[in-house]
Every structure is written in C-alpha cells, then in structure tokens.
Structure 1
Amino acid sequence: MLKVAPKELRENIARANGYLRRNEVTRALGAMSAALRQYAGVQLMRGPRAEMDIQICEFLNALTHHQAMQSLLDPTHSGKPRSIPYQQGKEAAIATVLEGLAKIMVNEAEEKVRREAEARLERKKSLIETGVQLLNDGQYAKGRAFLKRVAEEFSEEEGIRVQLGQIFAAAGQLAEAAEMYEESMEHEPRASAAYTGAVAAWTELREYERAENVYKAILRTFGGHPNTFGKMAKMYWDWRKRDKAEELAIRALQGDPDQPEANEVMQALSSRR
C-alpha cells in the first residue's frame, strides 16, 4: 500500500484538469485515460485514494457539463447530459469510454474540416465561374469584381493570383491581369509564372516602363539569364531604346549565342546601319 500516489499519476490528473479548463477537451480525455489506466494498477492507502477519487470525480463531472461534450452526452438537448460515473475497480472501463469519446471528437473535427474545405472549394469555383461568365458576356466591371473577390477571400492560397491573372489575360483584360500578376510577385516572390505573365501583359499594352520594372524584379529575384536579357533587348527595341536594346542583346549572346530575341535585335540593328 502506497501512502502517496505516484508522481506520474498525479501529473496526468492535474494535466487532464488543466486541459479541460483550457477547452482542450481531446487532450484532457487522453490525459485522464492514461491516469485511470495507471490508477487501476496502484494500491493506495485510504486517505490518498480518497483524494484521487475526488479529483477524478470532479473531472468527470466537469467533463459531463462541458459545452464540447453536449452533442455526445446530451444528443436530445434535454439539458440533462448522461453522466460518466466513477466506480472503484472500473478505472480501465472508464478509460475505454473516455478514449472512445476522444476518438469520436477527433473524427468529428476531421469531418468538419473536410466539409469546410469542400464548401470553400465550391465557393471559389462558383465565384470564378460567375466572374468568367460575366467577362464573356461583356459585363467587365462585374466580372472583375467577382474575380477580385476570389483574390481577397483566398489570398493565402498558393498560386491563386497567377490563376486569376491567366483568367484575366485570356479574357483580354490585360491591365487587370498584369496587376494580379504583380500582386502574386509580392505575395509569392518565387512564382516565376507571375513575372512572365506580368511582362507579357504590360508589353502587349505597350506599358514598357512597367514591363521594365518587372524585368528588374526578375533580375533581383532570379538573377541574370541569357533568355531574360534577350527578351529585355526585344522590349527595349520595341520601346525604341536602341542603345539599351543593343546592350542587353550583347549580354544575352555572351551567355547564349543562339538566343533568338537577341539575335533578332542584332540583325535589326545591323540592317539599319
């Protein structure tokens, strides 16, 4: 017969009550289940056993009336939840009950997450489809509003702004596409498709200064590459900045003598001399 309950048993009971007070019900159930299984194999003197029994009963009573347990213990909402009585010698059985409740709670939490994810996906799909349909119908302001709402509501989703940029570009809304791509550059600096899309949109709009800024961001983020220099050379040529076009074309050809845009620029320069 022990005069004092083992430390691990006392800590598990204290931990269970602490978790319950913090509304971490699943963890509380796990801690008390462990305590009860430990308790089943312990021989205590009457005084310390009475103390342990009181703490366990207090936990079970608090658990019964906890809001998170109402759907399980009071499914009819009668206001009188089923109790979980404590009986000496039945510790293992009560532990099994608590473990079962914990498993149900975990399953319900996972199911809730799944349902919320499905609803969220369905909402995103609906907003995008509505926005695209409005753009196709020529209701550009409304279509843009729906698609921008997607960017706001799903802002943390990886790749969402690139996807929206591609939708805007396909609908001929190039300014909105470019701005959406630039938002993606801010939020996902390594998303190369955002830079490519922004350059293409600004270039097609002949907004060369904004395209140049994107190219500079590409160089800062990814470093120089013959293809980047070649495409910059072509942009500067279209922008009628021939000195810059030649400078970038030479840089591109130093790294790749076959770089197509650079060769095109150099041929154009040669024909004008």
Structure 2
Amino acid sequence: MSAELTKARNQITQVNTFLKQGKPLPAVNALYEAVLTMLKAKLMKSERDEFSKLIEQAVYQLNNSKELRQLYPLIIPYAPGEEKALLERIRELLRELQANTVEEARDQMEQRGKRRAEGLAKARALLEEGQNEAACELLTALAREFPNDAPLRVEIADLLMQVELYKEAFPFLSEALEITPDQLHLYNRVGIVLRKLGQFELGEKYYMRAVNFAKEDPNLYFNLGRLYIDWQKFDKVERAAKLALKLNPDFEEAKKMLAFAQRKLGKQD
C-alpha cells in the first residue's frame, strides 16, 4: 500500500476520534480527503473492498453523531462503489459546517464584544459613584476574561487614570505592553502614570525601552523631558529637549522646555 493510501486509511480511522472530541468539521474533512485519495488511486480489489468497509463504518459514525445531526440533519447515504456520489454529499456537508463555523465565530465575537462593553460601562458607573474598589475588582475580572486583549487593558487604564487611580492603572498598562511591546502610545501612558506616582527611575526605564521602537519620534523625547522636569533632573531635561528639536526643529513646546532647563541650569540670564 502506497504512502498516500496509508495516510487515507489513517484519516478514515480519525473520523470517530474527532467525533468523540466534539469536532465534526475535522471528522468530515478527514473522510473527504480519504475518499478523494481513494478515487484517484488505482486500487486492487482487496484494497477497494477494505476501503469500502472503512468508509462504510465512518459514514455510519457520522450518521449517528448527535452533534453532527444537529448541524446537518440529513442522512449521508453510501454503498460500495458510490464513492463519487458520497464525495459530492460530503462536499455539501463541509460547506454547511464551514458556514456554521463562521456564523458561530461571529456570534462568539459579538457576545464577547457585548460582555466587554457592558463590563466597561458598569465599571465606569461605579467609578462615577466613587465605588473605586468594586470598579477595580470588576475591571480585573474583565481583563482576566480577555487575557490577550491589549486594547481592553488600555481602555481600563484610561478609565482609572481619568479618576487619578494611577497606581491601579499601571498593572493594566504593563500587561498591555507585554502583549504588544511595539505600541509607542503605551509607553507614553506608562510614563505619565509613573510620573504621577513619583516613580521617575522606573518611568525612565520604560521610555528607554520605547526608544528601541521609535528613535526618530520627537514626542518621545519631549515626554521623557516632562518626566525629568518632575524629577528635577534639569541636565537630562536639556538633553531630551535637544534630541526632540534635532528631530523637529520647529517643535515649539520643546523649545520652551529647552529654555526652561537652561534657566534652571543657569545657562540663561
């Protein structure tokens, strides 16, 4: 038996395995590919008889799958020698299952979006009522439900920052950066939070990480300069402002920052 036929045989035996796992689409696809291989091959009578029995067993398993019957209530007919007709029926079944999979995925996305929006709205209402602890518990649970959703964590952090809960906002921004470390706007948010918390050294480290992704962004150096102002590191303020102006000579706010730093350093009258 050729490698292709051995593979086809294994695919047929996988049908029941997939069905037991609650995976009707891979089960039907496995039978489709196996029958297609059989039709293309030149089989001896003994091989054809063996495949017919295997296919008959797989079709029986599909017809008796409760989960598949809910998605496709029609019985799949098969008799040895009717593999071409079977292939057409399986192709039709695959189209139905694929359409159903897309619809299910769409429904799941809509439900997830609804839970997400409702959770944020409820947390916002709690924050407006001053119930900060309850809001934070809700937001933590919401983030846990969507473990790979960086934009959600940014929205959560923005909500908390609006009511000056900077300490509570920081972990969500940190998680968002772990998920999407190349998003420059997140570093700016982290920098703002850490500046508000007086954690200047940590804020500086985050900005230095951001430099790896945006060396040519004057706003990055300007925001770093704002952190240095609060830190009262005026020599570093001067350096940051000069870097911003080197990239954008018309950056008026950076010019003001440079003048301010130089006055503090006694470099201007």
TM range (shorter): 0.7 to 0.9
Work out whether 1:159 is the aligned partner of 2:154.
no
The structural deviation recorded for 1:12 is 7.3
2:60 alignment partner in structure 1: 61
Unaligned segments of structure 1, at least 5 residues: 1-5, 76-81
Letter of the aligned partner of 2:144 in structure 1?
A: E
CA 234–112 in structure 1, closer or farther in 2 if over 3 Å, else same? closer
Is residue 209 from structure 1 mapped to residue 201 from structure 2 by the alignment? yes
Aligned length: 258
Q: What TM-score do the two structures reach when normalised by structure 1? A: 0.76
**Residue in structure 1 matched with residue 241 of structure 2 by the alignment:** 249
- Residues 33 and 99 in structure 1, CA contact (< 8 A), matched pair in contact too: no
Larger-Rg structure: 1
What does the per-residue CA deviation read over 1:77-132, in whole Å, with 9 as the maximum and x for residues that have no partner? Answer: xxxxx865533554433333333333322233222222222221111111111111
Does the alignment pair 1:14 with 2:13? Answer: no
Distance 1:16 1:229, change over 3 A: closer
Matched, 1:145 2:145: no
TM superposition shift of 1:143: 0.9
Distance 1:207 1:28, change over 3 A: closer
Residues 257 and 110 of structure 1: is their aligned pair in 2 closer, same or farther, counting only changes over 3 Å?
Answer: closer
1:19-98 pair list within 5 angstroms: 19-23=14-18, 24-34=26-36, 50-66=49-65, 68-71=67-70, 84=76, 86-88=78-80, 90-98=82-90
Deviations 1:20-76 (A, max 9, x none): 14413121231255257559xx8976x565444333323323333345434357x6x
* 2:255 counterpart letter in structure 1: N
Matched, 1:222 2:208: no
Match of 1:131 among 108, 115, 123: 123
Superposed displacement of residue 193, structure 1: 1.4
Task: State the percentage of identical aligned residues.
Answer: 22
Gaps of 5+ in 2: 19-25
Cα deviation, residue 261, structure 1: 4.0
Matched, 1:231 2:206: no
Superposition TM-score, scaled by structure 2 size? 0.77
Q: Which amino acid aligns with 2:96?
A: I
Q: CA RMSD in A?
A: 3.4
Residues 1:72 and 1:165: Cα distance change in structure 2 (over 3 Å): closer
